[in-house]
Structure 1
Amino acid sequence: MEILKNIFNQFQVKQTVVKIEVLASGHINDTYLVYCSNGLNYVLQKINDQVFNNLNDIILNKVIVSNHLKTSYQKSNNKYQIAGFIKTENDAFFVEAHNGCWTLMEYIPKSKTIDRAHNEKQVFEASKLFGNFIAHTEALNTEGIIETLPKFHSVPFRFFQFEEALKQAKASRKAKAQELISFALEQQKEMFLLSELKEKDNFPIRVTHNDAKLSNILFDKEDNGLAVIDLDTVMPGIVHFDFGDSIRSICSNTVEDSEDLEGTTINLKFYEAFCKGFALETSNILTSEEKRYLPLGVKTIIFIMGLRFLTDYLNNDVYYKTAFKEHNLVRAKNQMALLKSAIQNYDEIKRITYSSFNL
């Protein structure tokens, strides 16, 4: 605790630390809640330099976006909040100490995170916040935001990785994954479409979150949305990938490593709740072309995640942490089952989407 206190004291906060606790949320960074004697709390975070090797750019993106949102919310009397960053004594936004890069953020009081949605209200509130994020960063110049993870949602790039893994994969792994391999190859043409349209400038490049899952939303005790958090992956991108990733993670009837493949389906009630909330915040700024391709964003992101899990399985599990021997194969099967559900329900998905956006 003394080490954490010493790091905290290098920021421009002249308060006495009462205690420091580990925050439960988050799987990449080390995050701590710092309690101070004046009743204010702060979030001290060590950025994982094993995952992010361009920490200056990551932090710069986070600071630019959070400052912009704070100003935008204040000007528009927006009810949502954003955790601002505290400067160090040297007027920087991070401290390099104890084999890490540390930032200090404001703590949003009386807030909680939710890992899985239990009702349509939680989905609706999350969708409004992610939509609000897109709407309120529209005025931000994307040229000032650095692409810290190039090709992150590029299907051609992910497919190239898959093909390379396939070339060197063990015969035993290829045999176990053969059905998934065949299915991935069958979907290739349609799954390339969004990337091709992006390259042809069919869509505006926006500031996107790129990890738009439920656990990156703060709620109050009544499940009202408060704030979007975890801006580590903020980059320029297209809206379809944030929309699709939200649906993939929030609107599935199982968790992503469930072996209940029959139960791994799109929850259409949750999907409708998400569309309605997202449309409330973004209808006035998204182009007709963007809206029309939102359903394809759902299929594309599910495909990307299924393909990435499958690729890692063929590569002998070198990227994702696994809890058991064929964890990545289970994840890949789960995501491809979810994609099949999206394909089977695609007409209804499009109907709900177009109705929500008045297309």
Structure 2
Amino acid sequence: MELNLDAEVLEAYGYTKENVKITQIGTGLINRTYLLSPLSEDKKYILQHINTSVFKNPKAIADNLRAIVDYLAKTYPDYLFIKPVPTLNGAEMAHIHNEYWRMLPFIPNSVSLDVLTDPQQAYEAAKQFGKFSRVLNNFKADNLEPTISGFHDLGLRFEQFTQALNTASKELQEQAKPQIDDALAHKYILEYFKSYAHRVDFPNRVMHHDTKISNVLLDADTFKGICVIDLDTIMPGKFVSDLGDMMRTYLCACSENETDLNKIKIRLPYFQALVKGYLSEMKNSLTKTEKELILFSGRYMIYMQALRFLTDFLSNNIYYTIKYPTQNLDRAKNQFKLLYELSLNEKELQGIIEENLV
């Protein structure tokens, strides 16, 4: 495969195609990622292209990371936060032909997983995301810039759904009628969130905003957590963003592309491991209101993702990549089923939470 990598990008960091081995890696859908192995060094690096159709202000990413790096250097100097390698001229990103690139150190003897196969993996990942929140507990989150405006704003997502519903063809509305009914029936989740949103003990925090399992590095031998990665979406948010997205992506053995809804089940051991790992770091930092909303965080994020898939289907699939015309509708069905399963298991899940809050 021919690698789409401009020689000037390598030159910005002091390399050429002749003195470095380049391999395209990663399963991310937004940024292109390469592993650079310089022939004359023991170190390796990650080189990543920033997708400016998604991240319209790359400077915000660089500014946010610099602020966090400076803060951690003073408060938690031993915490592993992967900071960018500067270009030869000292810039945090390379700006080549109106495209943005950044280089990061590669962490040796580490792995990232695409699929969870053991509750202990969920524990380690949740512990790392919890630790990330804990060490930044006193950082003024509102000093950060949003890198994707409204990313986890459920109010915005419901508004977008409403607009799509009003403009969708009759045919699409008929196809999606059960899911449209589900979306409207679950609007109480948004109203419930709004009733808490302005409480003084429901603060904005520094959130990662993309807590899928592949965004944690684990030790290749012990599978102990090392650190969180993929830091572009770090910005202010409520704790429900990170914890809820872990629930959404860790608790079911199937991805949102599964069409057999009978397979969409909550794995209780994974929920227990997730909650235990997260609270091992964050129990003493969460406020009273946040502790009340732990299970709700899963509802919030699952409902939001169901809305986003449904909205895209009603909008003729303009955002998410599809392999067949009704895939986004199937994804919405999948997420509404997961939301149902979360409610079905509510009593047991809440009991697990309360055990780990003691």
Partner of residue 138, structure 2: 139
CA distance in 2 between counterparts of 1:196 and 1:149 reads: 24
Partner of residue 312, structure 1: 312
Q: 1:194 touches 1:297 (CA, 8 Å); kept in 2?
A: no
Return the letter of the residue paired with 1:307.
Answer: L
CA distance in 1 between counterparts of 2:5 and 2:336 reads: 45
- CA distance 1:241–1:143, shift in 2 (3 Å): closer
The alpha-carbon deviation at position 90 of structure 1 amounts to: 2.5
Give the alignment of 1:1-359 within 5 angstroms. Answer: 4-11=6-13, 17-36=19-38, 37-69=40-72, 72-74=75-77, 77-78=78-79, 81-221=80-220, 222-358=222-358
CA distance in 1 between counterparts of 2:169 and 2:36 reads: 48
- CA distance 1:3–1:211, shift in 2 (3 Å): closer
Q: Secondary structure at the match of 1:305?
A: helix
The alpha-carbon deviation at position 175 of structure 1 amounts to: 1.1
Q: Deviations over 1:260-290 (max 9, x none)?
A: 1111122111000000010100011111221
The alpha-carbon deviation at position 311 of structure 1 amounts to: 0.6
Q: 1:5 touches 1:17 (CA, 8 Å); kept in 2?
A: no
CA distance in 2 between counterparts of 1:223 and 1:231 reads: 21
CA distance in 2 between counterparts of 1:147 and 1:336 reads: 28
Return the letter of the residue paired with 2:232.
Answer: D
Q: TM-score, normalised by structure 2?
A: 0.93
The alpha-carbon deviation at position 202 of structure 1 amounts to: 4.0
Q: How many residues align?
A: 354
Q: 2:65 touches 2:83 (CA, 8 Å); kept in 1?
A: no
Q: 2:54 touches 2:148 (CA, 8 Å); kept in 1?
A: no
The alpha-carbon deviation at position 142 of structure 1 amounts to: 1.5
| Unmatched segments (≥5 aa) in structure 1 | none
- CA distance 1:194–1:17, shift in 2 (3 Å): farther
CA distance in 1 between counterparts of 2:15 and 2:135 reads: 29
Q: Secondary structure at the match of 1:218?
A: strand
Worse-superposed segment, 348-357 or 12-21:
12-21
Q: 2:113 touches 2:213 (CA, 8 Å); kept in 1?
A: yes
Q: 1:117 touches 1:250 (CA, 8 Å); kept in 2?
A: yes
Q: 1:299 touches 1:339 (CA, 8 Å); kept in 2?
A: yes
- CA distance 1:120–1:330, shift in 2 (3 Å): same
Q: Deviations over 1:183-232 (max 9, x none)?
A: 11111123332244123444011100011110101112221111100111
- CA distance 1:16–1:111, shift in 2 (3 Å): farther
Identity score, percent = 32
CA distance in 2 between counterparts of 1:325 and 1:66 reads: 44
Q: Secondary structure at the match of 1:96?
A: strand
- CA distance 1:17–1:292, shift in 2 (3 Å): farther
CA distance in 1 between counterparts of 2:177 and 2:32 reads: 38
Worse-superposed segment, 252-261 or 125-134:
252-261
Return the letter of the residue paired with 2:139.
Answer: L
Q: TM-score, normalised by structure 1?
A: 0.93
Q: Secondary structure at the match of 1:299?
A: helix
CA distance in 1 between counterparts of 2:31 and 2:123 reads: 28
The alpha-carbon deviation at position 144 of structure 1 amounts to: 2.1
Q: Deviations over 1:96-134 (max 9, x none)?
A: 114410111111111111011100111110010010010
Return the letter of the residue paired with 1:235.
Answer: M
Q: 1:8 touches 1:104 (CA, 8 Å); kept in 2?
A: no
Q: Deviations over 1:118-157 (max 9, x none)?
A: 0011111001001001001113222321122232222221
CA distance in 2 between counterparts of 1:200 and 1:291 reads: 13
The alpha-carbon deviation at position 63 of structure 1 amounts to: 3.4
Q: Secondary structure at the match of 1:316?
A: coil
Return the letter of the residue paired with 1:210.
Answer: H
Q: Secondary structure at the match of 1:192?
A: helix
Root-mean-square deviation (Å): 2.1
The alpha-carbon deviation at position 353 of structure 1 amounts to: 1.1
Q: 2:313 touches 2:329 (CA, 8 Å); kept in 1?
A: yes
